[in-house]
Chains A and B, each alone.
Chain A
Amino acid sequence: MFRWLIGAVLGIAVLVLSITVHGQETAKEQVKGLDEQVQEIKSDLLGIAAELNQLEEKLLYPSNTQVAVFVSLAGGETFRLDSVEIRLDGKPVANHLYTFKELEALQKGGVQRIFTGNVRSGEHDLEVFVIGKTGGSTDFKKAERFKINKDVAPKIVGITLAVEGITIK
C-alpha cells in the first residue's frame, strides 16, 4: 500500500515537471511528415485560389466595368456599427449586418470589401446608409449620397465611416 502511495506522489511530481508525456508516445516523425504534407496541400490550394481569383475577376468583373466598394472606420472610431447598405444608381447592391468579430476587425484598421460588381462607364449615384450605436447606446443613423465616375480602369471606392459623417475616396 505504501509503495502505491509513494508512486502516486512521484506521479504528481513527474506530471508537473514534464510538459507532456503524450508527445513522446506519438511518432514525432509521423506527425512532422504529415504536417509537411498538409503545408504542401495548403500551398497547392493557395495556387489554385490565385488562378481562380483571376479567372473569376476576368469572367465576372472585367476591368472596364468593374466597381469595388470598400468600407472602413475612421481612425479612433469606437461606435458600434450594426449595418451598412449600399445603393448604386438607386438599386440596393449590398446590405451587411456586422458581427462582433467583423466590427473588431474594422476597428483594428481592416477594410471590408462590401461589394464587387459591374457598371457602365460614366457617372453613377452611390448612396450609403449606416445604422449603429454611439457610446451611450444612442441610435445612430447616417445616409450620404455621392457621385462616382467610372472609366476604363477598375473603379475602387473607399467609404470611411465616422460619427461625424461618411466620406469616400
Chain B
Amino acid sequence: MTILIFAASSAWAGNPAPKQGLRDLYFGEAFYLASQGDWFDAISRLDTELAQHRGVDEPERDTLYYHVNQAQFAVGDFELSYRMHQRAGRAIKAVIEGKVEEPVRNEAIFRLARMYFQKDQPVNAQSALERIKGAIPANIHSDLVFLRTQILMANGRFTEAAVILKDLQDVKSLEGLCSYNLGIALIKAGKELEGRQYLDRTGQINSNDALVMAIKDKANLVLGSKLLKEKNYEVAKQVLDRVRMNGPFSNQALLGSGWADAFLGRFEKAMVPWSILVTREVTDAPAQEAMLAVPYAYGKLNVYSRAALMYGSALEKFGTEADKLGASIKSVHEGRFLQALLREELKQDADWVVKLRKLPQTPETYYLLELMASHDFQESLKNYLDLEQLRKRLETWERDLDAFKDIIEKRRAYYEPLLPAIDREFRRLDSQMRLRLEQRDRIAKRLKAMLVAPRPDYLATAKERIISEKITLLERKLTAGGTAVPSEVADRIKGLRGVLHWNIYTEYDHRFTEAHKHLRDLNSEVELLKRQYTAFVRTRQAATQSYEGYDDIIHRQALRIQASREKIGQLMARQGNMLETMAANELSRRLERIKEFQIKARFAMADSYDRANRVQKQEKVSK
C-alpha cells in the first residue's frame, strides 16, 4: 500500500506550464493535453517541438529555446505517466548527461530513481540516488528524502531508512505516511517496540485528509493484527476499534475485533462487530467469514438452535455465491470481462470498478476488487486499455490516409489540366518581365552616368527625336541627287535644329530631375511586380506540392499502420488472456474458499443440530 500511495503521488507531478513568459505556444499545448491525461498527444506534440528545435540553425531564435530544459524534463515525465519507462529513462538520462546546472541534474536523477523504484528495480534506484551531489531544488527536497527512505526499505536497509524518516516527521505533506513507514522500518530493523509506538502514534492521528485517514486505519489494522497474533487480545481490540467503520479496512478490523473478544471468551461482545459485518457486502471475504463466526459465537453461548439456523442461512448464501462465482468464471472465459473493461461509459466514472458489476452479462467484479487493486493487474489493465486506445488510433489514421489520398487525387485532377497553360503564360510573362527589368537597369545605369557626364540628348522627348529624324530625312532627300540644299531651306533647317537643341539643353536639369522621379516610380512598380512574381512562384510551387511527392510516405505509413495493427492485435490477445487468467484464478480461489466454508458450515450445522437435540433431550429428561 505504501508503494501504491507513493506511486499515486508521484505519477506526473503535474508541473504547471510556465504561466509567466510562455514563449512557445505549442509547448503550452503539450501541457494542456497532459493536464487532461492525453499522454500520447502530449508526448507527440513535445517530441515534434524538440525535434524541430534540434533541427534549427540558430536555436536561440527558436521559441522553445527558453523552455528547452523544462521540455526535456516534461517529455520524460509524460512518458513516465504513459508508462513508457524505457523511453522516459532515456530522456531523463539525456538531461543528466547534458551540460546542465547542478539542481537540474539532481532533479533529473531524482526522477530516474523514482522511475526505477516504480519499476521494482530498487538496486538501480539506489545507485541513481547515490549520484546526487550538491544543490537540490527546493520543490523536490521532501519528496527526494522520502523516496530515499522508500528505496532503502525496498533494499532491506531499514535502519538507515528509519534514521532518515525520523527527520521527516514534521513534513506536513507526509503526515501519517512518514510515521507509518517509520514504524514498519523499525519493526523490520528489529526494533519491534519502538516501531509499534510509531504505528500506534499513526493510528491516533486526526486529519480531514482521506489519504491520511486511510493510513491511520492501515496502521491500526497492522498493529491490531500483530497484537491479535500474539494473543494480546485486549489491546488488539482497542487498536482495531480505532479503524473507521466506513473506511477501506473496516471489514477486516470488524472481523479482527470480534475475534479478539471471542478469544477472551466474550462471545456476546464479539457478536457486535460480526453482526455489523454480516449485513455488509456478501462478496467480501471478512463478511463471509463473519457468516460463520456469528453462529460459532451462538454455539459458544449454547444457543445451538439459533447457531444451526444461522449456519443454514450461511450455507444458502454460500451456495448462491458459489453459483455466481461459477457463472462469473464462465463469463470471464467467454470474454465478457474484457468487453466490460473496454466500455467507454465506465472510463468517465471514478467508481468504474464498482459500476462494472451492474452491467448485464458481466462477471461479479466485487470478488475482483482486491485483485484489481494489485499492481500487476493494474499495470496489465492499463496496458490493455492503452492498447485499445492505440488500436482505435490506428483505425483513425488508416481513415486519415484514405482521406489524404482522396484529397491528393482531387487536387491532381484539378491542377494537372490547368497547369500547362498557366506555365506557358507564365513563361511568356516571365520573359517580358526580364526584358523590362533589363531596360530599367540600363536606364538607371545611364542616369547614374549622366550625373558625372551630362547627356542632354539622352533626355530628348519622343516628339523631339521624331522631328530630328524628320529633319535628317529631309536633308537626305534634298541632297539625294548630289545637289546642294538651297540656302533658304538650309537656314530654316538650321533654325529648326537650333530650336530643338535649345529646348533639349535648356530643359536638361528639369528633365533630369523628372527622369529620376520616374525611375523612382518605376522602382516601386518593379517592387510590386517582384512581390507578385514571388507570390505567383510560391503559389505555383504550392500547387504542385499539394499533390506531388506524397505517394511514398503514404504508402510507407500505410504499411507501418498495418504492421502495428497486427502487432497490437497479438498483444491485446496476450494481454487480455493474462487479465482473464488473473480474474479467473482469483474467482476460482474465492470459489475454493467458499467451498471450504460450505463444508465447514455443513459440519458445524450438523454439530449444532446434534447439540441442540442433545440439549432438548437433556431438558426433557430433567423435566
Chain B residues in 8 Å Cβ range of A108: 14, 16-17, 31, 35
Bound together, the chains give a CA A65 to CA B545 distance in angstroms of 13
Interface string of A69-111 (1 = CB under 8 A from B): 0101001000000000000000000000000011011101111
Residue of B nearest to A159 (CB): B25
Bound together, the chains give a CA A161 to CA B579 distance in angstroms of 46
**Complex interface: stretch among B221-229, B337-345, B439-447, B484-492:** B221-229
A45, A46, A106: the one contacting B394 at CB < 8 Å is A45
Q: Is the pair A70, B25 in contact by a Cβ cutoff of 8 Å?
A: yes
Rounded to whole Å, the gap between the CB of B532 and the closest CB of chain A is 11
Q: Is the pair B604, A1 in contact by a Cβ cutoff of 8 Å?
A: yes
Bound together, the chains give a CA A104 to CA B32 distance in angstroms of 9
Contacts known (A22-B376, A109-B18); A59 close to B407, Cβ less than 8 A: yes
Q: Is the pair A51, B229 in contact by a Cβ cutoff of 8 Å?
A: no
Contacts known (A59-B407, A110-B35, A121-B535); A20 close to B296, Cβ less than 8 A: no
CB-CB contacts below 8 Å: B442-481 with A: none
Residue of A nearest to B597 (CB): A4
Bound together, the chains give a CA A96 to CA B546 distance in angstroms of 29
Bound together, the chains give a CA A65 to CA B543 distance in angstroms of 12
Residue of B nearest to A37 (CB): B571
Bound together, the chains give a CA A158 to CA B63 distance in angstroms of 13
Chain A residues in 8 Å Cβ range of B386: 38, 42
Chain A residues in 8 Å Cβ range of B380: 31, 34
B26, B28, B85, B379: the one contacting A72 at CB < 8 Å is B28
Interface string of B208-235 (1 = CB under 8 A from A): 0000000000000110011011000000
CB of B568 within 8 A of chain A? yes
CB-CB contacts below 8 Å: A123-140 with B: none
CB of B536 within 8 A of chain A? no
Contacts known (A23-B375, A50-B48, A111-B17); A70 close to B29, Cβ less than 8 A: yes
Q: Is the pair A110, B31 in contact by a Cβ cutoff of 8 Å?
A: yes
Interface size on A, residues (CB 8 A): 67
Rounded to whole Å, the gap between the CB of A121 and the closest CB of chain B is 7
Residue of A nearest to B230 (CB): A13
CB of B500 within 8 A of chain A? no
Residue of B nearest to A152 (CB): B538
Bound together, the chains give a CA A122 to CA B226 distance in angstroms of 78
Q: Is the pair B571, A42 in contact by a Cβ cutoff of 8 Å?
A: no
Contacts known (A4-B600, A10-B229, A72-B28); A102 close to B575, Cβ less than 8 A: no
Residue of A nearest to B87 (CB): A43
Residue of B nearest to A156 (CB): B25
CB of A153 within 8 A of chain B? no
Contacts known (A22-B371, A39-B86, A55-B404); A46 close to B40, Cβ less than 8 A: yes
Main secondary structure of the interface of A (DSSP, over half): helix
Chain B residues in 8 Å Cβ range of A35: 83, 379, 383
Residue of B nearest to A157 (CB): B25
CB of B43 within 8 A of chain A? yes
Q: Is the pair A50, B47 in contact by a Cβ cutoff of 8 Å?
A: yes
A17, A28, A101: the one contacting B225 at CB < 8 Å is A17
Bound together, the chains give a CA A69 to CA B564 distance in angstroms of 33
Chain B residues in 8 Å Cβ range of A28: 376
Interface string of A40-69 (1 = CB under 8 A from B): 011111111111111110111010110010
Bound together, the chains give a CA A148 to CA B484 distance in angstroms of 77
Q: Is the pair B28, A70 in contact by a Cβ cutoff of 8 Å?
A: yes
A37, A48, A113, A158: the one contacting B560 at CB < 8 Å is A48
CB of B528 within 8 A of chain A? no
Residue of A nearest to B17 (CB): A109
Most buried by B among A42, A44, A55, A109: A42
A34, A43, A104: the one contacting B571 at CB < 8 Å is A34
Most buried by A among B25, B404, B542, B607: B25
Q: Is the pair A13, B377 in contact by a Cβ cutoff of 8 Å?
A: no
A9, A45, A112: the one contacting B229 at CB < 8 Å is A9
Chain B residues in 8 Å Cβ range of A59: 404, 407-408, 546, 550
Q: Is the pair B29, A113 in contact by a Cβ cutoff of 8 Å?
A: yes
Bound together, the chains give a CA A28 to CA B380 distance in angstroms of 11
Q: Is the pair A111, B383 in contact by a Cβ cutoff of 8 Å?
A: no
A22, A34, A53, A110: the one contacting B586 at CB < 8 Å is A22
Chain A residues in 8 Å Cβ range of B84: 39, 42-43
CB of B301 within 8 A of chain A? no
Q: Is the pair B44, A50 in contact by a Cβ cutoff of 8 Å?
A: yes
**Complex interface: stretch among B122-130, B251-259, B416-424, B428-436:** B251-259
Excluding A12-B228, A48-B397, A108-B14, 17 further A-B contacts by CB distance (< 8 Å) are A5-B259, A10-B229, A16-B225, A22-B586, A34-B571, A38-B83, A42-B40, A45-B564, A51-B553, A55-B550, A64-B538, A72-B22, A75-B20, A105-B33, A108-B35, A110-B31, A111-B22
Give residues in B with beta carbon < 8 Å to A.
Answer: 1-4, 14, 16-20, 22, 25-26, 28-29, 31-36, 40, 43-44, 47-48, 51, 82-87, 221-222, 225-226, 228-229, 252, 255-256, 259, 262, 286, 289, 293, 296, 370-371, 373-377, 379-380, 383, 386-387, 390, 393-394, 397, 400, 404, 407-408, 535, 538, 542, 545-546, 550, 553-554, 557, 560-561, 564, 567-568, 571, 574-575, 578, 582, 585-586, 600, 604, 607
* CB pairs A–B below 8 angstroms (29 shown): A22-B582, A28-B376, A31-B376, A41-B390, A41-B564, A42-B386, A45-B394, A46-B47, A52-B397, A52-B557, A53-B44, A54-B48, A55-B404, A59-B407, A59-B408, A68-B25, A70-B25, A72-B25, A75-B20, A105-B36, A108-B31, A108-B35, A109-B17, A110-B29, A110-B31, A110-B35, A111-B28, A111-B32, A158-B25
